[in-house]
Homo-oligomer: A and B are copies of this chain.
Amino acid sequence: MLTLHGYWRSSAAYRVRIALNLKGLDYAQVPHDLRRNRHQADDYRALNPQRLVPALDTGETVLTQSPAILEWLEETHPEPALLPAPPQARAIVRGMCALIACDIHPLNNLRVLRELKSDFGADAARLDLWARGWIAEGFTALEVMVEKHGGGFCFGDAPGLADCCLIPQIFSAQRFGVDLRPYPALRAVNAACDEHPAFVRAHPIHQPDADAGES
């Protein structure tokens, strides 16, 4: 049995939930409330030295870092494939994933915003501006890639790893008030995923630890 350590609003955990659903895998969830620093507890550090979510307990070991977990899922549960077969196409999909996972998300996650607030005295409006800027810069480039390679989803006409990364980033962008009008290709993918049960079930608001008062 797979057990996902996550948090309803964590982008990185949301990626893994989508992939698990696309693969048709059952999994248990252990939520760690990041706002209350529950992921900093010693018992969780024993599982994940980095004390971040997600971590996936496979029954044999605990895997960390969502990009590594997504690749592990693809290697151990190859159907349906979330990467295309040709190496060049795989590199394009992985490039989209890394654009999001390395160049957008790390700059607007909770731990970084907290540091900006404590170290530089940034208020909520300033933090939103900071996050929006990096999201817009990344989405501008990603729009070009998805416009070129997409066909309903980020790459081609079936959901894959790039969609697992994009949809949580769009959810986050909406929370920060990013204007999505300049990104019609990304919005089209988002609309397609909004209708897809694997994505719907993975949505933060449908998680057991979702906070009804917040979105």
A140 CA / B105 CA spacing, docked (Å):
21
Task: Please count how many residues in chain A sit with their CB below 8 Å of the partner chain's CB atoms.
Answer: 49
Do A102 and B94 touch across chains, with their CB atoms under 8 A apart? no
| Residues in chain A within 8 A of chain B (CB atoms) | 49-52, 58, 60-61, 63-69, 71-72, 75-76, 87-88, 90-95, 97-99, 101-103, 105-107, 112, 115-116, 119-120, 122, 126, 130, 133, 138, 140-141, 144-145
Are A107's CB and B107's CB within 8 A?
Answer: yes
> Are the CB atoms of B107 and A67 closer together than 8 Å?
no
- Tell me the bound Cα distance from A120 to B92 in angstroms: 35
B50 with A141: CB separation less than 8 A: yes
Question: Whole-angstrom distance between the alpha carbons of A138 and B50 in the complex?
Answer: 7
**Chain copies in complex:** 2
Cross-chain pairs A/B with CB under 8 angstroms, 21 sampled: A49-B140, A49-B144, A50-B99, A51-B141, A63-B92, A64-B99, A65-B95, A68-B92, A71-B90, A71-B94, A72-B91, A72-B94, A102-B105, A102-B106, A103-B106, A106-B107, A107-B112, A115-B130, A116-B120, A119-B126, A120-B120
For A63, the chain B residues whose CB sits under 8 A away are 88, 91-92, 95
Interchain CB contact under 8 A, A98 and B141? no
Give the CA-CA distance A140 to B52 in the complex, in Å.
13
Choose one: B49, B102, B140; the contact of A145 (CB below 8 Å): B49
- Closest B residue to A140 by CB, please name it: B49
CB distance from A23 to the nearest CB of B (A): 14
Contacts of A90 in B (CB 8 A): 71-72, 75
Q: Known contacts A61-B88, A64-B95, A115-B133; is A103 also within 8 Å of B72 by CB?
A: no
